Amino acid sequence: MYVQEIDIHHLRVFESASLKLQYPGRSDVGPLHLPNINLLLGNNGAGKTTVLKALALATLAPVIDKSGFLPYHLIRNGQTKAWIQSRVLLHPQDTGKGAGSSSTLKTEIVREGDLEILTTMSGATSGPWSGMFDNSSPAFLVVGYGATRRVQDAGSYNPDDQAKRRFLRYQRVAGLFEAHIALTPLTAWLPIAETANPGLYQQVHALINELLPEGAHFSSRRETMGASLGDYLYEVNGIEVPFGALSDGFRAYIGWITDLLYHVSAGGLSSTKLVDSRGIVLVDEIDLNLHPEWQRNVCSTISTVLPNLQFVFSTHSPIVAGSLEKENIFVMEAEDSGASTVSQYGEKIYGMDAEQILLSSYFNLETTRAPGFVDELQELSRQVGKGKPEIALAIMQKLAGQDVSKPQKKAKVVKKTRRRA
């Protein structure tokens, strides 16, 4: 399943918004470098996370009200009802039939006193959405990751505890709504796959390494802890390190990609390679704790390694934004009324450097310089306007990084004399 379009009404910061998303195989736009990536940009509070939540709520409409999810301040102030409608493209993985077809999903949230109540699709258990009620079905894969994502300690992980609180379909996106939700540790499922399904294990092992940045390698060995085995080991710059001892950036990234591979493999068709699985993946702050060098490559790596999944990311990173074409990017903006809108700009930023992008319409900064530095330059400029032309030299020194409060040493002049023949 892919989302072709989503309409959002009266949900948090939005009065009304609509997004037509990119997905594998979309034919009404020109060829894109990364055809399965969508990127959400915008200031804090402009609605990026709200769009991710809306996508999760709409695509899981048949089951979300029965899954353990409780709405919390989703309806926009002053309204009594919010609703989200998505047009989705179904795949044989979802329906068990041949050619894909489009269908509509809708979720409504109604306010009754201080309570918000979900009203979703009834009677879906016997229709085309029946696979959504089956935990073992590969149909309708939707996975989401919030900005507070973390991997649960393997020693305290208990999948039965999760299942008692939340239906699997909601578990997969719960991190977008609940900050304390932890991701599935690799040690909870990959050792089982290594024994029970070596072919699956080899696929996962290969995909992890393809998704890791240059200089990092998944060894598949595990840390020895007395008589038992601990975390898997990763080789980073020639040194083997257990997962728990990796940097925050590695753990944040490896945590969600291995959790994703878990959900893809858990519901995968026995006759299908993992890379052939279709579905929707929602990730808040894709650049979380990532070094700028990694930010340059993260979207292209994910898109290339997992070409049949549809991704929707949010970010504040101009480096991530510059790796995508304008057709991949959606910008959330807050208007004077307090409501946010969603736009796609005509300005091209693909391949620009970070400063150019920050000064573009996508980030709309007037300057990337520190505010105090700008204030000093403005004061110097005002002095020039008051008839003090010598201040122009101070401005040049300031821009060159010299301390204008200290007198500059005069360059020593060396006189050259002509040698007599």
The position carrying tokens 């004399």 is 417
The whole-chain average pLDDT of the chain stands at: 87
One domain for residues 9 and 94: yes
pLDDT of amino acid 40: 98
Query: Which range (34-43, 80-89, 146-155) has the least confidence?
Result: 146-155
pLDDT of amino acid 374: 56
Give the CATH number for residue 98: 3.40.50.300
Q: 81 is in which domain, residue-wise?
A: 2-183+267-358
Tell me the CA distances in angstroms from 388 to 5, 346, 392, 393, one per residue in order.
60, 43, 8, 10
Residue 195 domain flag: no
pLDDT value at 393 more than 80 = no
Residue 75 domain flag: yes
Residues with Cβ within 8 Å of 246's Cβ and at least 6 positions away in sequence, in order, are 234, 236, 254
List of long-range contacts for 373-380, beta carbons under 8 Å, 24+ apart:
373/398, 380/404
pLDDT value at 392 more than 80 = no
pLDDT of amino acid 406: 52
One domain for residues 384 and 279: no
One domain for residues 387 and 292: no
Residue 282 domain flag: yes
Residue that is last in its domain, among 358, 383, 401 = 358
One domain for residues 287 and 394: no
The position carrying tokens 């989705």 is 88
HSE toward the beta carbon, residue 55, CA cutoff 13 A: 38
- pLDDT 10s digits, 262-303: 999 986 555 578 999 999 999 999 999 899 999 999 999 999
Q: Find which of 85-99, 105-119, 373-387, 392-406 is predicted with most confidence, using mean pLDDT.
A: 105-119
pLDDT value at 409 more than 60 = no
Q: Do the Cβ atoms of 399 and 380 come closer than 8 Å?
A: no
pLDDT bin (cut points 50, 70, 90) of residue 224 is: confident
How are strands ordered across the β-sheet holding 37-42?
142-145, 279-283, 309-314, 37-42, 329-334, 340-343
One domain for residues 286 and 399: no
Phi, psi dihedral angles at 191 (to 5 degrees): -60, -35
One domain for residues 272 and 173: yes
- Between CA 160 and CA 180 the distance in angstroms is 17
One domain for residues 350 and 383: no
Residue that is last in its domain, among 321, 337, 358 = 358
pLDDT bin (cut points 50, 70, 90) of residue 421 is: very low
Residue 271 domain flag: yes
pLDDT value at 190 more than 70 = yes
Tell me the CA distances in angstroms from 154 to 184, 186, 247, one per residue in order.
8, 8, 18
One domain for residues 68 and 135: yes
Q: What is the mean pLDDT of residues 403-410?
A: 53
- pLDDT 10s digits, 117-141: 998 776 566 678 888 888 888 899 9
pLDDT of amino acid 18: 97
Residue 251 domain flag: no
- Burial zone of 257 (CB within 10 Å; 0-12 exposed, 13-18 middle, 19+ buried): buried
Residue 105 domain flag: yes
Helix, strand, or coil (residue 38): strand
One domain for residues 22 and 149: yes
One domain for residues 308 and 384: no
Radius of gyration of the chain (CA): 26
pLDDT of amino acid 420: 47
One domain for residues 387 and 354: no
Q: What is the mean pLDDT of residues 233-250?
A: 92
Q: Do the Cβ atoms of 307 and 300 come closer than 8 Å?
A: no
pLDDT value at 387 more than 50 = yes
Residue 191 domain flag: no
Residue 308 domain flag: yes
Name the domain count of the chain: 2
One domain for residues 275 and 375: no
Share of the chain above pLDDT 90, in %: 61
